[in-house]
A and B are shown apart, each in its own frame.
Chain A
């Protein structure tokens, strides 16, 4: 499926339809994928497009025999995903310490919920790959 939206309200009205796209995916994998997709969309709407309703987010979902591939593209200028992804693939999340940030967990959650995360060059498109076939490994970079 492919759809585009410009606001959280618009996206909210599409959530049930989107989740339904995962009806043939095993329930736990479907839940994880749905969490990662929502995180990616929130990032695209609020960070990528900066909450500007004049900009759209394009969401595409494709499925093969062994994987579901979700792509979320915004109209922002991208960001330095390389260092963030490296941190994601590193030791995992830091132990909960005294400094307890209220934000910044989105990409870590995405990495933990799908098998592979890729970005396009500028970083305004994220691709989430969730394997659903046999012998899949769990969690990106683990």
Chain B
């Protein structure tokens, strides 16, 4: 999986592409926690090019959302499609994040 990070107006924008398996989720977790540790609390995760995610990847997004909320920020998930969208709906995590088309 490819993971690109940039900061725009204080928001961490993450562009993911490919399949987020458990090993990719671990890498993403580390990077996002690094930003969170530097007091960033607004994240946009662009998932329009993600074709696979499972509970490990969803867990990472939940972890970062919890930290963001503690600092009055939030995680926005953008571009959900296919099986990835289906899993957000199945786990009801689409109600936990701000979801943007």
Which A residues form the contact surface with B (CB < 8 A)?
8, 12, 15, 28, 31-32, 34-35, 38-39, 42, 93, 95-96, 100-106, 108-109, 112-113
Chain B positions within 8 Å of A103 at CB level:
55, 59
Task: Assess whether B21 is in contact with A32, with CB atoms less than 8 Å apart.
Answer: no
Task: Assess whether A31 is in contact with B66, with CB atoms less than 8 Å apart.
Answer: no
Given contacts A12-B23, A109-B90, contact A96 B54 (CB under 8 A): no
Q: Is the interface of B mostly helix, strand, loop or mixed?
A: helix
- Give CA–CA (A15, B51) in the complex, Å: 14
B interface, size bucket:
20 to 34
- Give CA–CA (A92, B21) in the complex, Å: 24
Binary A-proximity of B67-101 (CB < 8 A = 1, otherwise 0):
00000000000000011001100111101100000
Q: Confirm or deny: B27 has a beta carbon within 8 angstroms of a beta carbon on chain A.
A: no
Of the listed residues B23, B54, B65, B87, the one surrounded by the most CB atoms of chain A closer than 10 A to its CB is B54
Task: Assess whether B95 is in contact with A109, with CB atoms less than 8 Å apart.
Answer: no
- Give CA–CA (A104, B63) in the complex, Å: 13
